[in-house]
Chains A and B, each alone.
Chain A
Amino acid sequence: MSGNYDAIIIGAGIVGTACALECAQAGMRVAVVEGDVIGGGATAAGMGHIVVMDDSPAQLALTKYSQQLWRELAPQLPADAEYETTGTIWVAANPDEMNEVFRKQAVYRQHGIAAEVLDSKSLREAEPNLHPGLAGGLLVPSDAVLYPPCSARYLLEQAMRLGTVVLSKIAVKIGNGCVECNDGSKLASPIIVNAAGAASPELTPGLPVRKRKGHLVITDRYPGFVRHQLVELGYIKSAGSSTADSVAFNVQPRKTGQVLIGSSRQYDAEHKDVDQAILRRMMQRAQQYLQGLEDLSMVRAWTGFRASTPDKLPLIGPHLEDTTIFLATGHEGLGITTALATARLLVDQCLGRDSEIPSEPYLPARMALESHHA
């Protein structure tokens, strides 16, 4: 057994690197175990949308808190993190969905988040390439976008400046204060953070985390084609469904002028190959909202795996049985947004600090209770 670490983080995605930095800033001696590229998993595959979501009060609290932490960090982020406060427009396709726009605005305002209702005409002014027939939308100006792999690398570099060590190996077993790696080495620490995303159940069997495959496609550079992150109001329905394959309109302007087009969700799709059928469905969905897409040049398509939980909330906190294991996983599509809050809440728990927001909704213990009910 080797290493004098106060905490070992498994996984150098956006969540793991945020945890490493938070631990290091709290004065802990930290090791990060990552066998692959920094930010190479879901962090590389995802969009990098820093978004407040209101699917549940707990989701709203976590996303809002984390967005605030990103905003505070933003001035220090390097240029290649491509942080930009683009705002989000939740697009309403029809008058029915406008009711949802007003409901959503009321919720956001209640939580002190600026949100402006756009009618059909002002939606077109804000985004000229949207179809004229759309009913309107809700503009949330404080949402942002960034480039996740470089953001993760920045967080890790900051942690390394505070003494964090990065070990290029693969953790194969964790528990009882010990991390066993693929090279046969063993590392000891009173705190082991499982931040392995979609792979986290491989290290902590029994975790209620399922892989949820997603597709994205990116265009060549068309600066100004879209100006805000554009998401259909039905998105939460797509994200929230826990059975069928689903697609939703979700498009992002990159700082490079490229347009990132999503999104799809599939359970039980374990292979990383592009699934042409769902890719087409996803692109057709985008066509229902945006005009002029047909002639854009698509440079690449790819897939990734989200770590989803049954109640759409992450697992942040100690494992119920093995108290040396802390979980920071199950973020599904919100890992980039909630990474900083996840890290803060986790370290609060490790050190017995008070948290800025209640941490109970994210404790892994809730899942154990649920499974008892079932």
Chain B
Amino acid sequence: MADRPLDFNILIVGGGPAGMAAASAAAGAGTVGIVDDNPNLGGQIWRGQSFAVEQKNAAAAMYRRVQQAGVTHLPRLRVLDAPRPGILLAESEAGSYELRYRKLVLATGARERFLPFPGWTLRNVMGAGGLQAMVKSGLPIPGKRVVVAGSGPLLLAVAAYLYEQGAQVVSICEQSPFARLAKFSFGLLGDPRRLAQGVGYRMQLRRTPYRAGWWPIAARGTRYIESVVLSDGHRTQEVPCDYLACGFHLVPNIELPALLGCELLHGFVRVDEQQQTSVSGIYCAGEPTGIGGLEQAILEGEIAGLVCSGRTEALRPLLQKKKKFGKFADRLARAFALRPELRGLANAETILCRCEDVSFGDVRKHSSWRAAKLHTRCGMGPCQGRICGAATEFLFGWNADSVRPPIFPMRFGTMVGRGCTQENKLQER
């Protein structure tokens, strides 16, 4: 294992589709690195995908492009802090690293939004993407009864995946009403590939009831979930299950961009046509600029990669394509807007902050996120409010605090600066 330079001309944070696209587009412009906290490239959406040569899919093609580009991949490294311009601090199991860059592309992706309802803390109630990731990591799912519920296009993708893996997907519940989804799908007619993807999922799942305008109101069980109660606001139905895969669309990971001083607009990183943020030399691509899905993330990544490697001559077709994508993120947000009934699922005793065991009732008494934090410890735990903060944003309309370092819990040793040497070895893939 040779020492690798930790000094990059272009550094990309996030090894999902946007980051991979940026890296391959930036190839040849000096040293290019991708840092990501997962062991493999692919991000959430391509987690566990085989990148083998014989694979014909988009993920493998993208992976080959990254490989051919001679990009340095720094796996299992989590970026925690930005102590000075041009420097990021990152940590792995093995130690801490100082990563230097001249240009930075932030492709930090998104996470699921969770909302509290009675029983949501029972075992085997998981995020939709969360359960998918666990199955990809080896959780045995064949024959298990799974209800997939919540909101967003991810639900169908997860349901289709679980079905492929042998799960018995007993119900898929999308909280958004049918009329709104239909309007959205109609909009997709101008975009056959996306439509085909959606229809494809439905075909695979054709024996599974897909209910629009239904949502989970309670999970029941003693330690593990035994059933989920679903409702459309008038009727309720209790469905026995082994797993509930439940997420309410996505929340962008904007903590690092915010820490770096990038301007935000309505909770997303503000970028110009060329993915440039408000901070010179820092670009952002993919979900943090707007939840727009895979193809938009790849396109934005490519644009960012070309721009920061100075190859603007190749940009024009991409910018045109981007224009054609138009306001897909806005349409997605409208189609999967959360219904107000979801604000009333939790009761006073329902846990809202799982890190600190703070109940919905205790948090509700306060008038702002900061007041709730200071007086109940809500959001004060190791997840730093990523889960309950995103929930209270929807539940109470609260705005999160300003971002402070470290953006994830960080070893004292890393924070104090010991062990941040270039001699530290990084694990190879």
| A282 to B, closest residue via Cβ | B416
B415 at the interface (CB under 8 A from A): yes
Known contacts A37-B371, A39-B374, A300-B384; is A274 also within 8 Å of B404 by CB? yes
Q: Which of A281-339 contact B (CB under 8 A)?
A: 283-284, 287, 293-302
| B417 to A, closest residue via Cβ | A280
Report how many residues on chain A are interfacial, defined by Cβ distance under 8 Å.
30
CB contacts (< 8 Å) of A153 on chain B: these are 375
CB contacts (< 8 Å) of B375 on chain A: these are 37-39, 80, 149-150, 153
Q: Are A298 and B411 in contact (CB under 8 A)?
A: yes
Q: Are A37 and B374 in contact (CB under 8 A)?
A: yes
B194 at the interface (CB under 8 A from A): no
Q: Are B405 and A294 in contact (CB under 8 A)?
A: no
User: B416 touches which one: A39, A149, A287, A300 (CB < 8 A)?
Assistant: A287
Known contacts A274-B404, A283-B415; is A299 also within 8 Å of B382 by CB? yes
B83 at the interface (CB under 8 A from A): yes
Q: CB-CB contacts of B404-420 with A at 8 A, as 1s and 0s? A: 11100111110111100
User: B410 touches which one: A38, A40, A280, A297 (CB < 8 A)?
Assistant: A297
B208 at the interface (CB under 8 A from A): no
B381 at the interface (CB under 8 A from A): yes
Q: Are A40 and B374 in contact (CB under 8 A)?
A: yes
CB contacts (< 8 Å) of A298 on chain B: these are 406, 409-412, 415
CB contacts (< 8 Å) of A296 on chain B: these are 411-412
User: B371 touches which one: A38, A217, A219, A300 (CB < 8 A)?
Assistant: A38
A220 at the interface (CB under 8 A from B): yes
User: In this complex, which of B384, B415, B417 has the most chain A Cβ atoms within 10 angstroms of its Cβ?
Assistant: B415
Q: Which of B5-19 contact A (CB under 8 A)?
A: none
Measured CB to CB, the closest approach of chain A to B254, in angstroms, equals 18
Q: Are B371 and A297 in contact (CB under 8 A)?
A: no
Complex Cα distance, B406 from A258, in Å, reads 16
Known contacts A299-B381, A301-B406; is A294 also within 8 Å of B413 by CB? yes
A276 at the interface (CB under 8 A from B): yes
A346 at the interface (CB under 8 A from B): no
Q: Which of B360-409 contact A (CB under 8 A)?
A: 368, 370-371, 374-377, 380-382, 384, 404-406, 409
User: A301 touches which one: B374, B380, B405, B411 (CB < 8 A)?
Assistant: B405
A146 at the interface (CB under 8 A from B): no
User: A283 touches which one: B374, B404, B416 (CB < 8 A)?
Assistant: B416
Q: Are B384 and A299 in contact (CB under 8 A)?
A: yes
CB contacts (< 8 Å) of B235 on chain A: these are none
Q: Are A276 and B83 in contact (CB under 8 A)?
A: yes
A209 at the interface (CB under 8 A from B): no
Complex Cα distance, B416 from A287, in Å, reads 9
A44 at the interface (CB under 8 A from B): yes
CB contacts (< 8 Å) of A217 on chain B: these are 415
Known contacts A39-B374, A294-B412, A299-B382; is A276 also within 8 Å of B406 by CB? no
Complex Cα distance, B309 from A75, in Å, reads 65
Measured CB to CB, the closest approach of chain A to B18, in angstroms, equals 28
Q: Are B409 and A295 in contact (CB under 8 A)?
A: no
CB contacts (< 8 Å) of A297 on chain B: these are 382, 409-412
| A285 to B, closest residue via Cβ | B416
B84 at the interface (CB under 8 A from A): yes
Complex Cα distance, B203 from A212, in Å, reads 65
Q: CB-CB contacts of A14-30 with B at 8 A, as 1s and 0s? A: 00000000000000000
CB contacts (< 8 Å) of A276 on chain B: these are 81, 83-84, 405
Complex Cα distance, B377 from A279, in Å, reads 23
CB contacts (< 8 Å) of B405 on chain A: these are 274, 276, 301
Measured CB to CB, the closest approach of chain B to A46, in angstroms, equals 12
Complex Cα distance, B415 from A217, in Å, reads 10
Complex Cα distance, B370 from A38, in Å, reads 10
CB contacts (< 8 Å) of A279 on chain B: these are 415
CB contacts (< 8 Å) of B377 on chain A: these are 256
User: B370 touches which one: A40, A274, A294, A301 (CB < 8 A)?
Assistant: A40
CB contacts (< 8 Å) of B409 on chain A: these are 220, 297-299
Complex Cα distance, B379 from A299, in Å, reads 11
Q: Are B413 and A295 in contact (CB under 8 A)?
A: yes
Known contacts A37-B368, A274-B404; is A219 also within 8 Å of B412 by CB? yes
| A296 to B, closest residue via Cβ | B412
CB contacts (< 8 Å) of B404 on chain A: these are 274, 300-302
User: A220 touches which one: B371, B382, B413 (CB < 8 A)?
Assistant: B382
Measured CB to CB, the closest approach of chain B to A325, in angstroms, equals 28
CB contacts (< 8 Å) of B415 on chain A: these are 217, 279-280, 283, 298, 301
Q: Which of A167-220 contact B (CB under 8 A)?
A: 217, 219-220
| Given A297-B410, A300-B380, A300-B384, 7 more pairs with CB closer than 8 A | A149-B374, A150-B374, A256-B377, A274-B404, A280-B416, A296-B411, A298-B411
Give the A-binding residues of B (Cβ under 8 A): 81, 83-84, 368, 370-371, 374-377, 380-382, 384, 404-406, 409-413, 415-418
Give 28 pairs: A residue, B residue, CB < 8 Å, sorted on A.
A37-B370, A37-B371, A37-B375, A38-B375, A39-B374, A40-B370, A40-B374, A80-B375, A217-B415, A274-B405, A276-B83, A283-B416, A284-B416, A294-B412, A294-B416, A295-B413, A296-B411, A296-B412, A297-B409, A297-B411, A297-B412, A298-B406, A299-B380, A299-B382, A299-B384, A300-B380, A300-B384, A301-B406
